[in-house]
């Protein structure tokens, strides 16, 4: 079984909330991102999403866009991802999923990317713009290497598509709480419950985590009441930008503890 699923199921069995945290590799520098990611894991993040900076982040909100643009401006290249990932996985036991648009992976080579990911200790991939219907190469190599593959489920997905995403995902299914770009919102879209219900109605037992728009401890608790984990990104980047690792870890602790 997937290490990511093991962590989420263990938390569920203990009735503890699961927190999935996103941070971009190379932001603001490679060394800084390693320090930040390790601190997040040590402070309570149960699964880490390591973002790949990309020049055309069509699904990312302004906070993440600005962070990834800064990483690229400071010289981050795709080849830097794997040493960065290795430094993180050597320091913590937390499952680390790389989150990347599909185009950089195709340019790098799907099999080569997967093997380098595995060698660096990565648990798998979250691919926000790749649908299972077009993922034959990734499905094949991820099966061979036993890597997690996280597909998205959205409010506009048909029940058939929800079932397909759930059956082919490993690690968890990424339930998008609202249509549009990522970023913190004051009110978490109620459609998230419908997406989670649709995935679970498919008969899949793969955990479902909800992302996009989660920014408070109350929202983390609410999501964990009906899903298997809450995904937070923009809030952590804001915290780091405002107060470095100290404020970042305080933010993680607050969301994890519910205080």
pLDDT > 80? residue 37? yes
What average pLDDT does this structure show over 138-153? 97
Q: What is the pLDDT of residue 60?
A: 63
What average pLDDT does this structure show over 171-194? 71
Q: Cite the active site residues.
A: 49, 60
User: How far is residue 59's CA from residue 101's CA, in Å, rounded to a whole number?
Assistant: 9
pLDDT > 50? residue 5? yes
The residue ranges of DSSP E strands in the chain, in sequence order, are 19-24, 47-51, 96-99, 124-126, 148-150, 152-153, 173-176, 208-211, 229-232
What average pLDDT does this structure show over 45-50? 98
List of domains in the chain: 3-257 (3.20.20.70)
pLDDT band at 155 (very low <50, low <70, confident <90, very high): confident
**pLDDT, tens digit, for every residue of 75-102?**
999 999 999 999 999 999 999 999 999 9
User: How far is residue 67's CA from residue 194's CA, in Å, rounded to a whole number?
Assistant: 31
pLDDT > 50? residue 179? no
Identify the bridge partners of residue 173 per DSSP, sorted by sequence position: 208
Region class of 239: left (phi > 0), else alpha (psi between -120 and 50), else beta? alpha
Q: What is the pLDDT of residue 157?
A: 86
Mean of all residue pLDDT scores within the chain: 92
**Cα angle: 197, vertex 203, 205; to 5 degrees:** 85
**pLDDT, tens digit, for every residue of 202-248?**
988 999 999 977 889 988 999 999 999 999 999 999 999 999 999 99
Region class of 68: left (phi > 0), else alpha (psi between -120 and 50), else beta? alpha
pLDDT > 80? residue 56? no
Q: Regarding predicted confidence, which is higher, 218 or 59?
A: 218
What average pLDDT does this structure show over 52-81? 87
Percentage of residues in the chain having pLDDT higher than 90: 80
Q: Regarding predicted confidence, which is higher, 108 or 60?
A: 108
């Amino acid at each position: 079984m997937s290490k990511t699923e093991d962590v989420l199921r263990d938390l569920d069995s203990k009735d503890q909330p699961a927190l999935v945290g996103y941070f971009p590799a190379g932001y603001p520098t490679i060394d800084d991102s390693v320090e930040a990611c390790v601190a997040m894991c040590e402070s309570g993040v149960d699964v880490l999403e390591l973002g790949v900076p990309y020049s055309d982040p069509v699904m990312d909100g302004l906070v993440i866009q600005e962070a990834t643009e800064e990483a690229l401006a400071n010289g981050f290249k795709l080849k830097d991802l794997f040493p960065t990932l290795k430094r993180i996985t050597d320091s913590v036991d937390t499952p680390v999923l790389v989150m990347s648009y599909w185009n950089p992976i195709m340019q790098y080579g799907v099999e080569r990317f997967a093997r380098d990911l595995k060698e660096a200790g990565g648990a798998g991939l979250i691919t926000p713009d790749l649908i299972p219907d077009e993922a034959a190469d990734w499905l094949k190599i991820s099966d061979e290497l036993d890597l997690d593959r996280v597909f998205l489920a959205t409010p506009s997905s048909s029940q058939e598509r929800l079932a397909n995403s759930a059956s082919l995902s490993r690690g968890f299914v990424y339930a998008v709480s609202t249509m549009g770009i990522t970023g913190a919102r004051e009110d978490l879209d109620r459609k998230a419950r419908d997406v989670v219900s649709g995935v679970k109605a498919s008969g899949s037992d793969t955990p479902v985590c909800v992302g996009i728009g989660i920014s408070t401890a109350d929202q983390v608790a609410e999501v964990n009441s009906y899903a298997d984990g809450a995904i937070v990104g923009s809030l952590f980047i804001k915290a780091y930008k405002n107060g470095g690792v100290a404020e970042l870890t305080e933010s993680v602790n607050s969301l994890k503890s519910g205080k």
